[in-house]
Amino acid sequence: MTDLALSRIATQPVVSHAEMANAIRFLAIDAVENAKSGHPGMPMGMADVATVLFSRFLKFDASDPAWPDRDRFVLSAGHGSMLLYALLHLTGYQGVTPDELKAFRQWGSKTPGHPEYGHTPGVETTTGPLGQGIATAVGMALAERLMNARFGDDLVDHYTYVIAGDGCLMEGISQEAISLAGHLKLGRLIVLYDDNEISIDGSTSLSCSDDQLARFKASGWSATRIDGHDPEAIAAAIRHARHDRRPSLIACRTVIGFGAPNRQGTEKAHGAPLGTEEVEKTRRALDWPHAPFQVPGAITDAWREIGAQGHAARRAWIERSRRLSSTGRSPFHDALNRKLPCGYADAMAQIRTRFGNERPKIATRQASQLVIDVIAEALPNLLGGSADLTHSNLTRAKTQQPVRYDSLDGSYIHYGVREHAMAAAMNGIALHGGFIPYGGTFLSFADYSRPAIRLAALMGIRVIHVMTHDSIGLGEDGPTHQPVEHLASLRAIPNLLVFRPGDAVETAEAWDCALRADTNPSVLCLSRQALPTFRDGEGETNLVAVGAYVVVEPEAGRDVTLIATGSELSIALEAARVLEKDNIRAAVVSAPCFELFRRQSREYRTAVLGRVPRVGVEAAIEGDWARWLGDGGEFVGMTGFGASAPAETLYREFGITADEVAKAALRGIARSRMAVTYA
């Protein structure tokens, strides 16, 4: 038994376990009833498990939610958010007041329908989309082990606990996540499974007959089933899991809606208020004769003591960190403060200047690898990986060694063919702190990663997705692998930076933007085919950082503006030369990041786009190009799926050529002149 557990038993308050757990139950019941919306069943069923976890095992200090060596607690079953809010309130997290519980699911409250990272103190990750929480927790547990390998037990020594439900385990992402965790032997990951055999439609037997314990064991986990309402059985299972070198599943057989005489054990307890009459019956059944939101002082005091019991451990940790030498302390705190080290800027400037001087004709995925080679040495906390496409994504630096269960000092993760889990695990790594995670796959597989990317954007965390083979330009693999709608789809996600660089210099600048964007996730969309370098890279200004800029500006003024991204920029430049032969003055604009361009001033955007007809060029569907092209603009790109053929054939057959861009420009100019004539 741990010293923490012993100290907690020694100072155990006079109130009973049942009273402690019932405080959680009735705060959840009352909040859902007051909101006339929510999910009371899971908090009622898992209150016993949560009480044992928080009172006997979880290392935390409610006065400092960001203490780096705290245990992480992830409520993967995020619909049961009142379980977490009740715990945060009872243990004394600042701001999670009775008024906030009464404002559950209301505008501006700290108690939204599902837990949101950065919105409520003590919430480690945004959950709600089932399966994302458990997969994110895998990343947290991995980050803990990797940090421990670098800095030792004195600074990094904590567990990751998850409460997950049937829905989390039914979602396909869970299999990818548990497989990865089992492979890496993440022994400090403990999943408490709310095994209540109920889903929204009714009994889980309607749709699922999996043997979950066998499934987890097959993936290298320890797995056991217990009575989720027996506090000693719960404690014994957690204690055993903490000493197992494998990740652990504890299937807690519970009764959903525990204590509600007419709702418990049925789907009726899942996602709706119990109703006034049933609430009163539940109060009588559980001997809780207190008014809504009222918790007796002795019970509150006992919970507050639990919230403060980690204070001594936190102070001891702070003292240990202070005793370190400056050379030992600096790398650790540099890793945690999320800032780029001093040597980074020089490294990035070096590779950018090299590209500008050498003007290589290479694929942007190759340029990206060269960038990674340089910055990996300057960023010791850069943590790379790929979903089994390392040699296609080109995401591994020469200096990076693979992460293995028996070699946790590496900095490159072979995620296997697990895009769902990779994206979610990267979120967990970023949330844990200590690393800047990036991972690679093909852009056409972005949809596998999309739920986690969306959550990263919602949370405002720095994760970097390297997505190569970004257009029909990948060629012969055909339409299944050619991403035509993915750029538009990703650009539709708020707060996500989608970069499509057009040459090696822009690739370096896109990486720089992604690394400096500590409140945005980024996607780098990179080409398979070689692209000529059109930038010289001179000067210190990162032009990608403004989203779009003028590459070619005719001296005598513009007749048309050609706007392009990525591999199509060279087509736009060629089209400008074609138009010049007909005395048409074409400006060329590179637009590597629509989101960053949108953030610029109206005056800057107008200066870049001009007040002349515009033509957009991108080997993808039109999407939100219309915003930049205006009513009179033309788009040269894809209107359907691709085909299997060499890249040059595809561009010709789909009409994405300099000649077609020039024709579109002439049509736009003719319409513009006609409009002026008739005006």
Q: Which residues are catalytic?
A: 419
Q: In which residue are the tokens 């361009």 written?
A: 597
Q: How far apart are CA 188 and CA 161, in angstroms?
A: 8
Q: How far apart are CA 431 and CA 218, in angstroms?
A: 29
Side-chain-side CA neighbours of 108 within 13 Å: the count stands at 1
Q: Taking a C-beta distance cutoff of 8 angstroms, is the pair 430, 376 a contact?
A: no
Q: DSSP label at 500?
A: -
Q: Are strands 189-195 and 160-165 parallel, antiparallel or unpaired?
A: parallel
Q: How far apart are CA 57 and CA 53, in angstroms?
A: 5
Q: 54: phi > 0 → left, psi -120 to 50 → alpha, else beta; which? A: alpha
Q: How far apart are CA 356 and CA 132, in angstroms?
A: 42
Q: How far apart are CA 298 and CA 194, in angstroms?
A: 29
Q: In which residue are the tokens 């590597």 written?
A: 592
Q: How far apart are CA 200 and CA 530, in angstroms?
A: 51
Tokens of 123: 């919430």
Tokens of 175: 């299999």
Amino acid at 75: L
Sign of the dihedral through C-alpha 386, 390, 394, 397:
positive
Q: How far apart are CA 660 and CA 668, in angstroms?
A: 12
Helix (H, G, I), strand (E, B) or coil at 577: helix
Q: How far apart are CA 343 and CA 332, in angstroms?
A: 16
Helix (H, G, I), strand (E, B) or coil at 290: coil
